[in-house]
Amino acid sequence: MIDVRLLRSDLEGVRAALARRGDPELDDLVVRAATLDARLRDITVTRDQLRAKVNDLSAEVGRIKRAGGDASALQAESRALGEAGSELDASYADVEARLRDLLLVIPNVPHPEAPDGAGDHDNPVVIGPVLPAEFEPHQRVPHWDTATELGVLDSERATKISGSMFTLQRGAGATLARALCQLALDRNADAFEEVRPPSLVSTATLTATGQLPKFADDAYAIERDDLWCIPTAEVPLTSIYAGEILDAAQLPVRLIAYSPCYRRESGSAGRDTRGMLRSHEFDKVEILAIATPEQAPDLLQELLRRALGTIEALELPHRVIEICTGDLGQSHHRSFDIEVFAPGADQWLEVSSVSWFSDYQARRANIRYRPADPDGTPRKGTELVHTLNGSALAVPRVWAAIMEVHRQPDGSVRIPEVLWPYMRGITVIEPRRPA
């Protein structure tokens, strides 16, 4: 969430920054939040004054009683003030809860260098596009046809088992999905600690990264246990240090994780749901960094380079777009998407999102650090960390793009050489032979 102190010190600046997101309702939310915060401070002043008066009365009652006098009137006044204090406590709790509810839905302020725009059609291309001169006819076959013919994608049985928008890879297709994850893990093992986090998390954990309350309809809930299926490993990785204070020398913390991911994809019925383009469950490798504000800009570029390097190694046509202010996610401060072109589906597919969240998630999760001078001398107090994350590799659309881009004239699919060490000797997925 945004820093409530900014609403006091620079309300107009916050309003101007959020206006760049293009949602007129945000201004009303910010003004209401500022009003509630002012009300909280007024209640605090009144309550402190009242408590001081009660303390003074208590001291006076004690003095009168020790002198043998009658303090009943003062005691009655003290009780009345105590009741008034209880009412103020209830008012404070009510206003505080309303303010927190507002802050949970107010999005992050965009980075000053994030491009302005109204929606995804305004996202500028910042790298590429890297494309061949032309795609051959055999590459123009949709992956769901190729993969079905090769026997490596069984959508019919996936639907029988679990319903629509689930996938089932078989044989070399399953091996390819696993190989992609292992490739992403190995390419980042030089600088990132591998973690295998839980796939079910608490409401507090899902709230910390900004998925709740806004995206509750897109998440799978296990209501009996107050647990949620993770939409990405970003969620548990971010909260590993929730409520903790790190030393500056520990930063940046670099983590990488493979995990299954679960998303309802509400409202997506009939849109990009064929084959592997959009599914309720998929595998992904996530890279995440916890950093100081000064470290964050360079880390954002590093995460982007690492994710892009994997796509380049897979020999896939690609481009990088920067997300404009009108298309930024709830928690995002600045963000880039890597897209690959799938010639069979004839569209650009987002395969990685690399994002900087400033201190927005850290404030929700209460992750702080002890700053230090360049010589290592600790400074007074603590500050919030900054968080960043990126998809090192998300399987479904990369898998789909490989089936289309690397399809050969005879209907086989060439496995990119970088994956050979993980494919148990398979370098080409061959067509099924007639019985």
User: Which runs of E-coded beta strand occur in 70-214?
Assistant: 125-130, 193-195, 200-202
**180-238 confidence digits (pLDDT tens):** 999 999 999 999 999 999 999 999 999 999 988 888 989 999 999 999 999 999 999 99
Decide if pLDDT at 435 tops 50: no
Mean pLDDT value of segment 272-297: 94
Instruction: Please list the residues that pair with 171 across neighbouring strands.
Output: none
Clarify whether 278 is annotated catalytic.
Answer: yes
Domains of the chain in sequence order: 4-105 (1.10.287.40), 120-429 (3.30.930.10)
pTM of the full predicted structure?
0.92
Indicate the length of the chain as a whole number.
Answer: 435
Q: Which of 263, 306, 334, 364 is catalytic?
A: 263
Q: Which of 353, 355, 358, 391 is catalytic?
A: 353
Residues above pLDDT 90, as percent of the chain: 90
Q: What is the pLDDT of residue 361?
A: 97
Q: Which of 278, 306, 319, 368 is catalytic?
A: 278
Give residues with Cβ within 8 angstroms of 234, minimum separation 6.
Answer: 209, 286, 288, 389
163, 406 contact by CB (below 8 A): no
CA separation for the pair 229, 198 (Å, rounded) = 9
Clarify whether 353 is annotated catalytic.
Answer: yes
Q: Which of 60, 281, 315, 350 is catalytic?
A: 350
- Tell me: cis bond preceding 129? Omega within 30 of 0 counts: yes
Q: What is the pLDDT of residue 350?
A: 96
CA separation for the pair 198, 216 (Å, rounded) = 19
CA separation for the pair 3, 98 (Å, rounded) = 16
**396-424 confidence digits (pLDDT tens):** 999 999 999 999 999 999 999 999 999 99
Clarify whether 263 is annotated catalytic.
Answer: yes
**143-172 confidence digits (pLDDT tens):** 999 999 999 999 999 999 999 999 999 999
Decide if pLDDT at 66 tops 70: yes
The tally of CA atoms less than 13 A away on the side-chain side of residue 77 is: 14
